[in-house]
Structure 1
Amino acid sequence: MSAADYPLPSHVPPELAMEFPLTTRKIAYENPHKVIVPQLHKGPDIIYATNIFPVAPGGGWVLRRAEDMKRVYEDNENFIKKGNAQFASMIGESWDVIPTELDPPKHTAFRRALEPVFSPRRMAELESKVSGRAEELISKFKKKGHVEFIKDFAVPFPVSIVLDLLGLP
């Protein structure tokens, strides 16, 4: 099933329902900053994107203004995170994605545990290491003259950085 297979929820005004450009899965060979980014800002400040999730309900609200996003992120009473990514439901499960789908007080406990690892000071310390790791990976495929980007960079780069952050080999 895809998002198109789910009916529009009754609380969603039809004029606010539309496909969201980033989740159409269309290949853009043009510069995404010139093509896709302007599309993201067309239309109303708040839309119901019908194509966000491949599982029920299929869609979700998209906020386009920074002040609206900030208000939602800071309002834990009216806007909950539980189930917002829907990763577990895609495989028939119901567990939380930690910490992104946790609300206070559970989220607070995980955040406190991770704060020392992701502090601004720690991030500044890692800047040269992160750049060095990127340069190391790039030099490997630069010598070959071609790259399988996902296999050679997109997977090993973030994984190695997170392992470094957590002090793991």
Structure 2
Amino acid sequence: MTTSAPSAGKCPFHVPVELQTDFDVYLNPGHTEDPFKALANAIEGKPRVFWSSSNPMAKQPGSWILTRTEDMRTVMRNPKLFSSEENAGFSKLLGESWSLVPLEVDPPRHGALRAWVNPFFASSVIPAMEPAIRETCVGLIEQFRAKGRCEFVNDFGRPFPVTVILQLLGLPVSELSRFLDWEDKLLHGSDFPTKIAAARQIKDYLLSQIADRRANPKDDLFTKAAHAEINGEPLSEDDILGFCYLMFVGGLDTVASSLGFHYQYLAEHPELQARLRKDPSLIPQTVEELLRRFSIVITHRRATEDTEIAGVQIKAGDWITIHTPISALDDTIHQSPTTVDIDRPNKMHMTFSFGAHICLGMHLARRELIIALEEWVSRVPDFRITEGAPLRTHGGGVYGVDELHLEWN
């Protein structure tokens, strides 16, 4: 392979010319109408592994993009060679060095932290949460059901999962709009001053909540974190903050984003709605197929030593982007991957990540999505996208739907 000097200072010397691209990992053209279609267009004809000169981490000129699920899984199952440290980088926005716990922590320390956290989200504890989750779901639907219409994102898609996680964390649901504003600016802010200000507001608020739980313990996750011990030693202040920050940021965006794409698809496919109304037992497999088709999260790993992926030389310090929406397009894993087929025998997906850092909240997320669909098909008649109404989506670190107007007779 031939190599070249960096173009305008944007590409490291070791990246071959034929692997350099202008692919923008966050803002593919067309992402505000259909980020998945925009992504498919952007990677068409690209090599299996290529270099993106966009700046996903604000640390270096770009990262390696993987287009095969096989390669993504190889990276994610090898934390010694591909580190998770700083992969979200929120503390770096503030010039600090605490890590999201356990997301940005590598083994062996990751194992002890994960063992402490796992019981809070184990599949065995989810049934006890279900009555409250269902009550929240039904209460929201009943607020707009008789109107025959809703703006899905603000009326249901965000408040449903966010209310659930706020109750679990012990944070006031009355502050939901403020929390979502911070979240939106942190994850989707158009410039770094906006992101930094949001990161600071979230940190300051969480520190005040942690201090409150020390003085006034409650039955919530923030109290558990504030008083936690691992191997007889209290969690450090940075670990407590890192755990609470991850719970706050992760809980406010991902399930809400999935719901937007799932209900857009259902609104466009009344035949699937009808099938689910006739046989609600199909709902869990439908949710799994929609999760597979609409994978939404981008994460990153950094090579700790020189290595290679699919024959491409990777240098120590290079960032690798794990773009799970690309995995959803991988036709080496699924035939016709862009087609939603709830009877597909293999629904394997990367939506909840893979390996040691598989999503903590995946059991809760699945249950929320299943409950939502059960209540929607039993309470809301055939729903469709309102003709002429705006439909807005976004790409970025987490794909999402910004505006989705639904109506029914």
Q: TM-score, structure 1 length as denominator?
A: 0.69
The residue aligned with 2:109 is 106
Q: CA deviation at 1:130?
A: 4.5
Deviates more, 1:89-98 or 1:137-146: 137-146
Tell me how far 1:76 sits from its aligned partner: 1.8
Residues 25, 54 of structure 2: 8 Å contact kept: no
For residues 130-145 of structure 1, what are the structure 2 equivalents within 5 Å?
Answer: 130=133, 133-140=136-143, 143=147
1:82 positional shift: 0.9
Q: Secondary structure in 2 aligned to 1:112?
A: helix
- Aligned position for 2:11: 8
Cα-to-partner distance string for 1:65-91 (whole Å, 9 max, x where unaligned)? 111111111112211111122222223
- Identify the residue that residue 63 of structure 1 maps to in structure 2: 66
- Which sections of structure 2, spanning at least 5 residues, go unmatched? 1-7, 170-218, 222-409
Match of 1:168 in 2: 220
The 5 Å alignment of 1:110-121 reads 110-121=113-124
Deviation of the 1:45 alpha carbon: 2.0
Equivalent residues in 2 for 1:7-86, closer than 5 Å: 7-20=10-23, 23-24=26-27, 28=31, 30-33=33-36, 35-39=37-41, 41-42=43-44, 43-53=46-56, 55-86=58-89
- 1:89 and 2:92 aligned: yes
Q: Is the 8 A contact 1:20 1:52 kept in 2?
A: no
Cα offset for 1:138? 4.8
Q: Tell me how large the CA RMSD over aligned residues is.
A: 3.7
CA distance in 2, matches of 1:73, 1:59: 19
- Name the aligned partner's letter for residue 168 of structure 1: D
* Deviation larger for 111-120 or 69-78: 111-120
Change (3 A) 1:87 1:10: farther
In structure 2, distance between residues paired with 1:118 and 1:87: 23
Letter of the structure 1 residue corresponding to residue 120 of structure 2: V
CA distance in 1: counterparts of 2:144 and 2:14, whole angstroms:
51
**Count of matched residue pairs:** 164
Contact between 2:20 and 2:50, CA under 8 Å: does it hold in 1? Answer: yes
Secondary structure of residue in 2 paired with 1:23: coil
Q: In the superposition, relative to structure 1, how do residues 54 and 84 fare at CA in structure 2: closer, same or farther (>3 Å)?
A: closer
Using structure 2 for the length normalisation, give the TM-score. Answer: 0.33
Question: What displacement does 1:152 show?
Answer: 5.0
What is the identity, as a one-letter code, of the residue corresponding to 2:78? D
Relative contact order, CA 8 A, sep 6+: which one is greater?
A: 2
Inter-CA distance 54–129: structure 2 relative to 1 (3 Å threshold): same
Q: Which amino acid aligns with 2:60?
A: P
User: Percent identity among equivalent residues?
Assistant: 31
Cα drift, residue 136 of structure 1: 3.6
Deviation at 1:112, TM superposition (A): 0.8
What is the rounded CA distance, in whole Å, between the counterparts of 1:14 and 1:123 in structure 2? 50
Structure 1: segments with no counterpart, 5+ residues: none
| 1:141–1:147 CA contact under 8 A, matched in 2 | no
CA contact under 8 A between 1:47 and 1:62: conserved in structure 2? yes
